[in-house]
Each structure stands twice: as structure tokens, then as C-alpha cells.
Structure 1
Amino acid sequence: MSIAENIKKLREKFDLTQQELAEIAGVTNKAVSAWESGVSEPRMGAIEKISQRFGIKKSNIIEEGGMDLLDYKEETPKTIAAHFEGENFTEEEMKEILDFAKFIKSKRK
């Protein structure tokens, strides 16, 4: 998975428009479109802003298959697990809960 594919997957994972991701990265929506189509690649400053906002490593954006390397089990905060004590959530459900939490955090200004 190229940088273009990683960026598109990240944007879709967090249900963001190109404009919303552009605002996070400090660029235009046309720049995000160019990244996703492989016409250009983001500068390190934009990658840094994106990685910080979503709590992921820059390598998840840059490296081949980087978005596939996210390991939600290691990222699951113990405090979240404590809130669901006695619940039998599947691994997929926990991923959705964490994705939603990251999405909410991404909307903070």
C-alpha cells in the first residue's frame, strides 16, 4: 500500500472528507486529492500533523502497508477496557470503538 493508499484508507477509516483532512494537515483539499491520486506526496510537516491528530506513527502513513500495521490491541487504553468490564465485545467491535474515539478527538480544535 503506497502513501496515496495509506492516506485514502486513513481518511475513509475516520470518515473524513478531503476538505476535513486538508484542514487537519494545513493544506488545501486539492493537495489531499493529489496525494490520494499519487500525483504528489505530502510534506513531512503535513504527515506530522496527521499522525499527531490521529495518534498514529508517521510510518503508518509513509511505509508500504503502513495503515495495515496498526495494532489496536496494543493501543487499547486500559481505561477504556475498564469502562466495558463484563462486556464481551469482539475484537472488531473494540476497533470500531477506538476508531470512533479517535474520530471524536480529531474534531477537536
Structure 2
Amino acid sequence: MVGISENIKMLREKFDLTQQDLADIAGVTNKAVSAWENGLKEPRMGAIEKIATHFNIKKSNIIEEGGMENLAQDIPFTIAAHFDGENFTEEELKEIMEYAKYIKSRRK
């Protein structure tokens, strides 16, 4: 299914993750993530649930054709959910996302 492969790749790129990073989240190998993104295989529901839970999104955003397109603009707001009651501004959320990218870039 083309939708799943595109959604997984879009999600991974949105969060600036490597295939290994997403594999660790889903509990699979990086080769499995590669196969998903290339449309060679589809992830099992358990992996989809782990990914959805990690990013605080619906499973349908991963499974359905174009599922990530509507969500793409709202993803930074899922981070705010981890800071309940903080009422971050959109600019602050962008800064948080940039800082997260910076931290990931320093991983070895």
C-alpha cells in the first residue's frame, strides 16, 4: 500500500529521524523500516501502534492514504501535549522542534 510507505517516510523526515531511530521506536530493524518505506512490506499492527503512541497520533494517520498530509502542520502541537498546561505559543513550539533537531544532530 503506497499510503503507508509515504506516511512512514513523511513522519520520519518530519522528526528528522534516521531509519534506525524509527526502527528503535517501532521495535524492529532498520531494514524493516526501509522495506516499509519502499513499499516492499507493510508494518504489523504492533509496530504501527508503537509509532502512533510515541508520536501521539492516530493509527489512521499512518495507515490511510494521505494520512500524514493533514497532520503534518499539527505535529509540533503534539509536543505541547507533553507539557500540559504550559500554553506554548506557535513560535515557542517551533523553537522546541529546532532544539530537538539540534539535540538529535549531536548523537553519536
Corresponding residue for residue 7 of structure 2: 6
Cα root mean square deviation, aligned: 3.0
1:54 paired with 2:52, answer no
| Consecutive aligned runs of 4 or more in structure 1 exceeding 6 Å deviation | none
The farther-off stretch of 55-64 and 69-78 is: 69-78
TM-score (norm 1): 0.71
Would the aligned equivalents of 1:7 and 1:61 in 2 still touch at CA under 8 Å? yes
Structure 1 stretches of 5 or more lacking a match?
none
Spell out the pairing of 1:9-24 with structure 2 (5 A cutoff).
9-24=10-25
2:30 aligns with 29
Aligned length: 95
Q: Which runs of 5+ in 2 are unaligned?
A: none
Residue 96 of structure 1 corresponds to 94
Aligned to 1:79: 85
Question: TM-score scaled by structure 2?
Answer: 0.72
Identity over aligned residues, as a percent? 60
Larger radius of gyration: 1
Q: Which has the higher contact order (CA 8 A, sep 6+)?
A: 1
- Classify 1:37/1:95 alpha carbon distance in 2 versus 1 (closer, same or farther; 3 Å): farther
